[in-house]
């Protein structure tokens, strides 16, 4: 080939190569656009199932997190209260929901850790049917009594229970709730008899106490503190191992009368099993940030809650350990569904 013909060949080849490169780049751009055009989670509202009535501990833990998730992720996270059966109703609905991230559960110690030992047949398995996202908060329970109860201290209350077996009853947010098991533990350690009256949430149980239907409640701080400050109920002690910062003048039940007594409450966020890991990871990352924010910490503190963010794996392990812990008390005390 002559030098002149070689030069002409090169001139023709350069546009061809440029065309090939343009086609390749266009293909890459189309592929990238196709990936980006897929649905981005969330693209519609998300419901957060809560197994207790509005105003109780689980509801109080859920709402500020749902509000912040709505702001951060651009879709409404709506709290859906489905009270009843100690949280079992909402938990069953969540377990059967499509695992796409649009139905979440605000799980509690009652439904996930205690009820499996109380109910012979549950329509869900707390380990098999859920993908943990993060623990959200822990809460103290406060032993409060109606003003008509003569006891001013835990020791006086125990003496009253022993002197008049079966004369007092206590309300809770349902069979298997932390408030219920707090009472069971008190009965078990003092060898007394207290009648349990379950309600569909902490707020209705507090309403029953205010109305004189029950004489005692192991209430969450969120429901107890306003009534204690208003002088409508008398706070005797907290159920945790150490005193609570929001109620520093109240002793623990352990230091007041019963060494070794301890019962706490917790709330966590879960999704149905088989929810895509990418969704679990995103919800975990955003919720952990929210729980670490000063604004949410302040809201929680005023409600007697302490943020307890975790990894999904750590929360799953914690649920298993809680099931083992509470099953021992349930069996020892012979707790049965009311």
> Could you please report the per-residue DSSP string of 127-148?
TTTEEEEEEEEEE-EEEEE-TT
> Could you please report the per-residue DSSP string of 156-167?
HHHHHHHHSTT-
- What pLDDT sits at residue 82? 96
Q: HSE-up of 43 (CA within 13 Å, CB side)?
A: 6
- What pLDDT sits at residue 19? 46
How far is Cα 307 from Cα 287, in angstroms, rounded to an integer? 11
- What pLDDT sits at residue 85? 86
- What pLDDT sits at residue 33? 40
Q: The dihedral of CA 226, 322, 128, 269: what is its sign?
A: positive
**Domains of the chain, start order:** 46-138+265-333 (3.40.190.150), 141-256 (3.40.190.10)
Spans in the chain with pLDDT lower than 70: 1-38, 338
280-331 residue pLDDT tens: 999 999 999 999 999 999 999 888 888 999 999 999 999 999 999 899 889 8
Query: 71: buried, middle or exposed (CB in 10 Å: 19+, 13-18, 0-12)?
Result: exposed
Q: Which two tokens stand for residue 240?
A: 């945790």
- What pLDDT sits at residue 302? 83
- What pLDDT sits at residue 222? 81
Are 295 and 67 spatial neighbours (Cβ–Cβ below 8 Å)?
Answer: no
- What pLDDT sits at residue 38? 57
- Crossing angle for the helix pair 202-210 and 221-229, nearest 10 degrees? 30
- What pLDDT sits at residue 159? 97
Query: 196: buried, middle or exposed (CB in 10 Å: 19+, 13-18, 0-12)?
Result: middle
Q: Kindly state the helix (H) or strand (E) to which residue 314 belongs, with its residue range.
A: helix 312-333
């Amino acid at each position: 080939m002559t030098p002149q013909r070689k030069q002409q060949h090169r001139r023709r080849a350069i546009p061809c190569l440029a065309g090939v490169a343009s086609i390749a780049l266009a293909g890459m751009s189309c592929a990238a656009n196709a990936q980006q055009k897929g649905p981005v989670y969330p693209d519609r509202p998300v419901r957060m199932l809560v197994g207790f009535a509005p105003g109780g501990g689980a509801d109080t833990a859920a709402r500020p997190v749902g509000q912040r998730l709505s702001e951060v992720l651009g879709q409404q996270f709506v709290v859906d209260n489905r009270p009843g059966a100690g949280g079992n109703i909402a938990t069953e609905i969540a377990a059967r929901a499509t695992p796409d991230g649009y139905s979440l559960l605000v799980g509690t110690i009652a439904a996930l850790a205690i009820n499996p030992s109380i109910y012979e047949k549950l329509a869900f398995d707390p380990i098999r049917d859920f993908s943990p996202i993060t623990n959200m908060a822990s809460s103290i329970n406060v032993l409060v009594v109606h003003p008509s109860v003569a006891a001013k201290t835990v020791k006086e209350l125990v003496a009253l229970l022993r002197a008049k077996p079966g004369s007092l009853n206590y309300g809770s947010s349902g069979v298997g709730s932390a408030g219920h098991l707090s009472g069971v533990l008190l009965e078990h350690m003092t060898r007394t008899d207290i009648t349990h009256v379950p309600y569909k949430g902490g707020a209705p149980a507090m309403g029953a106490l205010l109305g004189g239907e029950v004489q005692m409640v192991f209430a969450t701080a969120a429901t107890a503190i306003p009534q204690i400050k208003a002088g409508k109920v008398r706070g005797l002690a907290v159920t945790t191992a150490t005193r609570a910062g929001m109620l520093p003048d109240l002793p623990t039940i352990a230091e007041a009368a019963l060494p070794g007594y301890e019962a706490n409450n917790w709330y966590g966020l879960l999704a149905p099993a088989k929810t895509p890991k990418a969704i679990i990871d995103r919800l975990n990352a955003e919720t952990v940030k929210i729980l670490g924010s000063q604004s949410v910490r302040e809201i929680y503190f005023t409600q007697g809650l302490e943020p307890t963010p975790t990894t999904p794996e750590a929360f799953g392990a914690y649920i298993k350990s809680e099931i083992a812990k509470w099953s021992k008390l349930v069996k020892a005390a012979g707790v049965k569904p009311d």
